[in-house]
Amino acid sequence: MENTHLSGASPSEIQAHYDVSNDFYQLWLDPQLIYSAALWNETEPEASLEQAQYQKLAYHLQQAQAQKAEYVLDIGCGWGALLSEVLKQPNIQQAVGLTLSQAQKDYFEAQPNLQSTPQAQEQAEVQAEVRLESWENYHPARPLDAVISIGAFEHFARPGMSPSEKQAAYTAFFQRVCEWLRPEGRLSLQTIGYGPISEAMKVKLSGLNQAVFPGSELPTLLELLAAADPFLELLQMRNDRHDYAKTCQLWRKNLRAAKATIEAQYGPALYKRYNEYLMASEMGFRLGHLHLYRLTFQKGKGLPS
């Protein structure tokens, strides 16, 4: 990995959270190891976590117009669930995922069924590539048709940044994505943000967040939109905070069911930390202190790539 200074969480801070162990996350996430808010359609409130996670991936693929895309980038690809869906798109030529977690990259590379699909193999031997690299160091070889980033923007600014430093970090992200996209290319972005809360509550939530996600600070909607506005057109925006509350509730149910195993293998302190973090997060989303934004952007026709 290039050793450039990153404006958000560092690789070691990311690995402190995501590299606990792949087996640990398998004990309480869904089978595809998707670690972000799922999506429940109003018509199917009883959908399982696994179904709702799949619906979330399908939503982002649709918003990014992945159906007609050839070159797609997943920023913060986790264990690779979205990448394997990208590979199933009919015109795909290249799917790249970026992560700062060595354990996630190793997991993806150990599972050939995630890296290519039978359809893709028949067509053109298309394979997905996971790179241990920050978006700040990535340079695509060609203009991209679509960028999708789910649950990673939460790591792109650090606690203690001044408002202008934070704004500069977010601006750099949107500027870079705009440079990478072809005209009319899409960005489908999902991130947690602070709701309308007092500064004192924000400090409290930021402290709780740092205890679990070191080196990471959440955006407000205004910070995010101000940074994106000079570069990308906003096409659609939703706040699905109740979906994240429900996701946290179901993750915590799984965590509690695996309590004995987790305590035996990883110690009671780790179980306690994750139990409390999922409980506090669920409460934060239910009360509206935390929001869950899903935003669709498009690059204008006239902007050069």
Ligand X SMILES: C[S@@+](CC[C@H](N)C(=O)[O-])C[C@H]1O[C@@H](n2cnc3c(N)ncnc32)[C@H](O)[C@@H]1O
Binding site for ligand X (CB under 6 A): 6, 8-9, 14, 18, 34-36, 75-78, 98-101, 104, 134-135, 150-152, 155
The distance of closest approach from Cβ of residue 152 to ligand X in the complex, given in angstroms and rounded to an integer, is: 3
Residue whose structure tokens are 């009319």: 184
Q: From CA 170, how far away is CA 155, in angstroms rounded?
A: 11
Task: CB nearer to ligand X: give 152 or 181.
Answer: 152
Long-range CB pairs of 21-26 (<8 Å, 24+ gap) are: 21/103, 21/266, 22/79, 22/103, 22/104, 22/106, 22/107, 23/265, 24/262, 24/265, 24/266, 24/270, 25/79
Alpha carbon distance 224, 35 (integer Å): 21
CB half-sphere exposure, 29, CA atoms < 13 A: 20
Return phi, psi of residue 162, to 5°: -70, 160
Instruction: Report the residue number, 16 or 303, with the smaller CB distance to ligand X.
Output: 16
Pick 22 or 233: Cβ nearer ligand X = 22
Q: Minimal distance in Å, beta carbon 158 to ligand X?
A: 11
Which residue, 131 or 202, has its beta carbon nearer to ligand X? 131
Nearer to ligand X, 242 or 263 (CB): 242
- Smaller CB separation from ligand X, 141 or 264: 141
Distance from CA of residue 234 to its chain's centroid?
Answer: 19
Distance of alpha carbon 3 from alpha carbon 209, whole angstroms:
26
Q: Least separation, in Å, of the C-beta of 59 and ligand X?
A: 12
Tell me the closest approach of the beta carbon of residue 124 to ligand X, in angstroms.
25
CB of 179 to ligand X, least distance (A): 16
Q: Shortest distance, CB of residue 259 to ligand X, whole angstroms?
A: 22
Q: How far apart are CA 98 and CA 77, in angstroms?
A: 6
